[in-house]
Amino acid sequence: MTAETVAGGGGSTGFAFRTDSVTDRTLDELDAWWRAANYLSIGQIYLLDNPLLREPLAPAHIKSRLLGHWGTTPGLNFVYAHLNRVIRDRDLNTIFIAGPGHGGPGMVANTYLDGTYSEIYDDIDHTTDGVRKLFRQFSFPGGIPSHVAPETPGSIHEGGELGYSLSHAYGAVFDNPDLLVAAVVGDGEAETGPLATSWHSNKFIDPLHDGVVLPILHLNGYKIANPTLLARIPDLELDQLMRGYGHTPYLVSGGFDHEDPREVHRRFAAVLDEAMDQIAQIKADARAGRLDARPSWPMIILRTPKGWTCPAFIDGKPAENSWRSHQVPLPDARDTPAHVTVLEDWLRSYRPEELFDDAGAVVPLATALAPDGDRRMSANPVANGGLLRVPLRLPNFRDYAVEVPTPGETTSSATAVLGTWLRDVIVANPDNFRIFGPDETASNRLQSVFEATDKQWDAEVIDADLDNHLARSGRVMEMLSEHQCEGWLEGYLLTGRHGLITSYEAFIHIVDSMFNQHAKWLKTSRAIAWRRPISSLNYLLSSHVWRQDHNGASHQDPGFIDHVVNKKADVVRVYLPFDANTLLSTYDHCLRSVDYVNVVVAGKQPQANWLSMPDAVLHCTRGLGIFEWAGTERRGEEPDVVLACAGDVPTLEVLAAASLLRASVPTLKVRVVNVVDLMRLQSEDQHPHGLSDAEYDAIFTTDKPVIFAYHGYPWLIHRLTYRRRGHANLHVRGFIEEGTTTTPFDMVMLNDLDRYRLVIDVLDRVPGLDARQGTLRQEMQDARILARAHTREFGVDIPVVADWTW
């Protein structure tokens, strides 16, 4: 594989062509930076004291617990040094994404070298004591984690879980036309499904309005205990693979067989310049309107030894260029005298006496490559997106309200109504708001947005009718990979913009781990003063469990909510709006919020509208409330029973049950309560939205039966309310893993959430009713039998249910 030759051309905004060749002085600067970064990285893993080896290394100078990862770090340090050069020479706006999350010590070392780390953490200065503190804090109690965590300046990607570096990188460059994201992909990471799919993100880049991702596939050959796949296929096959993904690959190999590092620096610098010139040419052609087809964006394949520059052998076994260098190559350094000597020799091989002056400051040669100010990758405000975030210009959602003269009188698709509002959100925010989803925007009834925008697409377009709403520039991002949509959105949010992801409820589980990582990032970053708040991660889950009767069991799973509420209460929010107006009010709130994960579950099928817009706003502001119009309790009297609900279908069934009780047991005092903000059920000491005990008791009572119809798995409601005084009186109906291809009402009957079952629950739990209302109980049982029989004979729900209105 040979480097591609790229023709020269004129300059372009944000991406300049090469002007100077790499001199011997530049090679000296590259090598000094690299050696210093490597030394500082190893010091973080191993050293507790004697940070600059001003005396012979002793066991007392070495940490008792050796944590961290060395294997990928020298390659990351190498790339970082070279990126500094091109940033400085071309005045590039660049951020760095370290896909191998185990490169944490390297990223900390590089941010220390360019000065950003000491600017943010002023106690870790450029003195011997500052270096000691830098080393001591790493993977140490009360210190910093071993990954590229939120504490690391310039990071938007921790990388603790592999697979998302490229999707985050591409999300960062959408609507950032002059931004370059250098994304280093580890060859272990490259084996994950999300990463393998993310190579296709280049088909969604608008060369004019978006920035550029430069993928750098780092092949160091080994994972924790095995070789990596892409390092063990022929160069030609790897070249063809990357060309098949639509890239122009450049291969640089070096560092083997004791090769002079300066020669590797020289080769990589030349290839990096070739790639940067190709990018500059593509951007210039885009600005001039000369791009007739999708460009073949460059990517670099860097092949170096695993654990490059560590001891070749330790205890007679290969260390460098083997899996043994993945974590800590000398795990017994403190306790084995021979290993103390090996560690000291290893550290001194970087010649620290040449890199640090007498006071412990890094010498100018080793920091000469640092760009100025915000051009430093660690100081780029894009990587602290809250600095750049501007609030959305949101149309007044009240103007999109549906008319509700009386509860249930009108019918709407809640998400279709929301789509008209989102259409105008796009119009008002043409360059910092996007909708992401896996081929389901129209399926989830948000198709009104296509009146204002297209789906971004830079692959082939064959037929304008079949390929409708595809364009090089658009505000809707669709790819049939929840991983990519989630990763793109996270990258977009972390760099200061706004958006949402819409998905079928059952399949959002695909990104459970990605949600985990983002929620952990938010939890940590909220406690870091210099990290500014970013827009919330907003989910819109439709095609939900109760209206997947046509697709069957594979599409029926409401458990993402359970997964979300496991995270810290100050980060997660869950909303269950039950009609069009409550959904509008809810989503306006979500798009205004920062530093949360907002999960909104709403139906797309036509359903009754229950609240006028003024009432919906009041109800959503409270988060829950009593539907006085639906109950039969008299003001000033206690109810006999509380019928509670959360979710659109449970709300429908509770209201139908309340109607049946009103007609059949008119003396029964029924209170109907709806919960739209699920977190209100928790106590105020468990969640910021939680109700006080007094508020909860006033609504749900302390001694009356509560029949709760819930959208998801019923045990979550018990978990949220277990501390409440009336918990023993709570009986929850919800999804119990019963489902198939059937009718909507049969679906709720299969899970015992139907109106007839709810009435029976009331009769069973209100003292004295069971004996007095035996005939009604039998009627309810018969109604279930007749409803089931009707579906089996006619394939549709019984008219008394299908045509029911309040």
DSSP string, 485-516: HHHHHHHHHHTT-EEEEEEEGGGGGGGHHHHH
Instruction: Compute φ and ψ for 545, nearest 5 degrees.
Output: -55, -40
Is residue 436 within 8 Å of residue 477, measured between CB atoms?
yes
Whether 631 and 602 have beta carbons less than 8 Å apart is answered as no
Q: Report the distance separating Cα 751 and Cα 303, nearest Å.
A: 56
Listed as ranges, residues in the chain with pLDDT below 50 are: 1-12
Question: pLDDT tens-digit profile of 670-694?
Answer: 999 999 999 999 999 999 999 999 9
Sign of CA dihedral 159, 165, 168, 173: positive
User: For the chain, where do the domains classified as CATH 3.40.50.920 start and end?
Assistant: 623-802
If we measure between CA atoms, which residue out of 657, 654, 761, 675 comes closest to residue 720?
675
Give per-residue burial for 213-242: e unless 16+ CB within 10 Å, then b.
bbbbbbbbbbbeeeebebbeeeeeebbeeb
* Cβ(452)–Cβ(421) below 8 Å: no
**Domain 623-802, classified CATH 3.40.50.12780, yes or no:** no
At 19 the pLDDT is 64
* pTM of the predicted protein model: 0.95
**Burial (CB count within 10 angstroms: exposed 0-12, middle 13-18, buried 19+), residue 648:** buried
Which residues fall within 8 angstroms of residue 148, CB to CB, at 6 or more apart?
Answer: 98, 101, 103, 104, 107, 155, 157, 158, 159
The CATH 3.40.50.970 portion of the chain extends over: 24-374, 397-607
Neighbours of 432 (CB within 10 A): 22
CA distance linking residue 458 with residue 455, whole number of Å: 10
Token pair in block for residue 239: 């070249």
For 154-191, letters b (16+ CB in 10 Å) and e give bbbbbbbbbbbbbbbbbbbbbbbbebbbbbbbbbbbbb
Separation of alpha carbons 283 and 705, rounded Å? 67
CATH 1.20.81.30 fits 24-374, yes or no: no
Of 396, 411, 418, 449, the closest CA to residue 602 belongs to 418
CA dist., res. 655 & res. 717, Å (int): 19
397-607 classified as CATH 3.20.10.10: no
**Rounded distance between C-alpha atoms, residue 217 and residue 249, angstroms:** 10
Evaluate whether 229 touches 191 at the Cβ level (below 8 Å).
yes
Q: Tell me if residue 147 falls in helix, strand or coil.
A: coil
DSSP β-ladder status, 670-675 and 624-626: antiparallel
